[in-house]
Amino acid sequence: MSKELNITPISKWGFNFKTPLIMAGPCSAESEEQMHETAKQISKYNIDILRAGIWKPRTRPNSFEGIGSVGLKWLKDASFDNKVPCAVEVANVKHVYEALRSGIDILWIGARTTVNPFAVQEICDALQGVDIPVLVKNPINPDLELWIGAFERLNRAGITKLAALHRGFSTHEQSKYRNIPRWNIPIELKRRYPQLAIICDPSHICGNRELLKEVAQTALDIGFDGIHLESHINPDKALSDAQQQLTPSAFGELIASLVVRENIDQNPEAENQLDTLRSRIDSLDKYLLEVLSERMDIVREIGEYKREHNLAIVQPSRWNEIVQTRMDMGTRKALTEKFIAELFHAIHKESIHHQTEVMQQNEKKPAISENGTKK
Ligand code: PEP
Ligand code: MN
């Protein structure tokens, strides 16, 4: 099912991006002065892409929905003056044409658009034959296939300068984040398409300023390729996303505080050191699988006993005892409760599967004998 994507890596887009790439700018372009001043001040910190929203997809209709096409020129001029390529969100065909006409360098597809294959397809049709980089935000729901689908559609329109923007996923659960990161989803995207750069967007993940640094650092620790942050000359007065935008100086401080992790492929010394540790992991994993397989052999023996004696597979008291004792043992070994619970849930599920198979094999003993008496 996993179709190959044709991706031109960000190092070949012709922009001379740094590693990690830094994309920044106001949530929305609000006035010519705000756009120019923000761009000028954040450019001091060597940003790679200047962003600004011109058309804003807002959840509620009575909030600021963007300044509209007039802002494209402000963005383009600010980009020219500060010698940094600019990017804008496009959500429909009109946006695409206006952005292209204004000479915007890079487009991005927002989370509320990626979620809708009709909307993505219309954008792709409008981009047919145009050589422009497109960044694709994850869909608001945690659906990796939908995210990949947008890349495939863009590829079919001939666009290969592609990168992913990870901005977290909507949730109705209580969370300290505005959009929960669910790191496993972008990590799986990277595993499937290693050549696809992933830029993390802590601003839209956090929805506040306090957590930005922690999330940005986590992204770099994982090995993502860039960071996207919103900055505004007067964040508290911003017309959109006021709580999460940073002043240019706070933005500069945050960027300077990040620890950049080196890519192992470029460090043979680290690769050697890690090889030793990794080969220990490999033999422990082998051992782990042998132990689990031995455990399942015993589970099957118990299954046979249960079949012979017409005993139900699940014995709740035994299961509760297992959960409790393993939780105690595991937490003493510094494993988290969540992990122990998930691990034993998975083991239990596999055990039930094996015992069900045993029960159904040679199902010779009916629970009720031929003359109707209970066995
Ligand atoms: C934005 O980048 O300003 C934006 C609207 O983001 P998202 O699509 O992630 O909500
Ligand atoms: Mn925003």
State which ligand 1 atom lies nearest to the alpha carbon of 204: 9
- List phi, psi (to 5°) of 88: -140, 155
Instruction: Say what the pLDDT of residue 363 is.
Output: 61
Query: For ligand 2, a single-atom ion, which residues have Cβ within 5 Å?
Result: 27, 241
Strands 226-230 and 162-166: unpaired
Name every protein residue with a CB atom under 6 angstroms from any ligand 1 atom: 27, 53, 57, 110-112, 137, 167, 204
Compute the distance from residue 367 Cα to the ligand 2 centre, in Å.
Answer: 64
Ligand 1 site-directed mutation target among 27, 65, 116, 200, most atoms within 8 Å of CB: 27
93 has a pLDDT exceeding 70: yes
- pLDDT band, residue 2 (cuts 50/70/90): low
Compute the distance from residue 111 Cα to the ligand 1 centre, in Å.
Answer: 6
Residue of higher predicted confidence among 60 and 142: 142
Domains in the chain: ranges and CATH: 10-261 (3.20.20.70), 273-364 (1.20.59.10)
Tell me the C-alpha distance between 361 and 353, whole Å: 12
Tell me the C-alpha distance between 156 and 148, whole Å: 12
Please provide the distance, in angstroms rounded to a whole number, between the alpha carbons at the two ends of the chain.
Answer: 50
Instruction: Say what the pLDDT of residue 121 is.
Output: 98
- pLDDT band, residue 364 (cuts 50/70/90): low
101 has a pLDDT exceeding 60: yes
Compute the distance from residue 53 Cα to the ligand 1 centre, in Å.
Answer: 8
Q: Average per-residue pLDDT in the chain?
A: 93
Q: Is 116 exposed, middle or buried (0-12, 13-18, 19+ CB in 10 A)?
A: middle
Tell me the C-alpha distance between 36 and 76, whole Å: 10
Residue of higher predicted confidence among 38 and 172: 38
Tell me the C-alpha distance between 255 and 63, whole Å: 30
- On whether the CB atoms of residues 14 and 201 are closer than 8 A, the answer is no
Residue that is written with structure tokens 């039930």 in the block: 352
For 311-368, the DSSP string reads: --S--HHHHHHHHHHHHHHHHHTT--HHHHHHHHHHHHHHHHHHHHHHHHTT----SB
Tell me the C-alpha distance between 247 and 203, whole Å: 13
List the single range of 242-246, 266-270, 290-294 with lowest mean pLDDT: 266-270
What's the rounded mean pLDDT across residues 99-124? 98
- pLDDT band, residue 366 (cuts 50/70/90): low
Q: Is 137 exposed, middle or buried (0-12, 13-18, 19+ CB in 10 A)?
A: buried
State which ligand 1 atom lies nearest to the alpha carbon of 240: 3
CA dihedral 12, 17, 23, 24 (to 10 degrees): -140
Spatial CB neighbours of 200, under 8 Å, sequence gap ≥ 6? 165, 166, 186, 215, 216, 219, 224, 226, 227, 228
pLDDT in tens, 312-346: 888 889 989 999 999 999 999 999 999 999 999 99
Instruction: Say what the pLDDT of residue 375 is.
Output: 37
Q: How far is CA 318 from CA 231, 340, 348, 352, 365, in A?
A: 56, 17, 11, 13, 25
State which ligand 1 atom lies nearest to the alpha carbon of 113: 8
DSSP helix/strand/coil, 288: helix
DSSP helix/strand/coil, 121: helix
Compute the distance from residue 241 Cα to the ligand 2 centre, in Å.
Answer: 5
Compute the distance from residue 207 Cα to the ligand 2 centre, in Å.
Answer: 9
Compute the distance from residue 87 Cα to the ligand 2 centre, in Å.
Answer: 13
- pLDDT band, residue 261 (cuts 50/70/90): confident
- Give the Cα-Cα-Cα angle 203, 205, 211 (nearest 5 degrees): 70
- pLDDT band, residue 273 (cuts 50/70/90): confident
For 299-315, the DSSP string reads: HHHHHHHHHHTT--S--
Ligand nearest to the CA of 235: 2
- pLDDT band, residue 362 (cuts 50/70/90): low
